[in-house]
Amino acid sequence: GENVEQHPSTLSVQEGDSAVIKCTYSDSASNYFPWYKQELGKRPQLIIDIRSNVGEKKDQRIAVTLNKTAKHFSLHITETQPEDSAVYFCAALPLSNQFYFGTGTSLTVIP
């Protein structure tokens, strides 16, 4: 099955700086890559996603890049704010209809 790895596991940045989280996947058939933000005790919330036919997608301060050849995708948050502090999960969706999640990155934005 698919295997998704995520780095780093923890990340601290100063408010206003950028944060980058990276994921790799193993199944070349995976074609959809969402990113979720999860606040403590709450459900994962979709923040951005990218499909395999696109290399980059941006939504205000958040962007995702995908390199299909290398099988990796990254989340970029610019101008970070304290409310960006949360756990972020990447995921991949192969031909089976189940998401495979990364192990999560705990992001702390220091005011």
Partner 1 sequence: EPEVTQTPSHQVTQMGQEVILRCVPISNHLYFYWYRQILGQKVEFLVSFYNNEISEKSEIFDDQFSVERPDGSNFTLKIRSTKLEDSAMYFCASSLQTGDFGYTFGSGTRLTVV
What span, in angstroms and rounded, lies between the C-alpha atoms of 82 and 101?
24
Cβ proximity to partner 1, 14 vs 43, nearer residue: 43
For the CB of residue 44, give the shortest distance to partner 1 in the complex, in Å.
6
CB of 91 to partner 1, least distance (A): 8
Q: Where are the beta strands (DSSP E) in 8-61?
A: 10-14, 19-25, 32-38, 45-51, 56-59
Residue 60: partners with Cβ closer than 8 Å, 6 or more residues away? none
The rounded distance, in Å, linking the Cα atoms of 57 and 75 is 10
Q: How far is the CB of 80 from partner 1 (least distance, A)?
A: 23
Measured from the CB atom, is 32 or 58 closer to partner 1? 32
Q: Which residues bind partner 1 (CB under 8 A)?
A: 31-32, 34, 41-46, 49, 89, 91, 93, 96-104
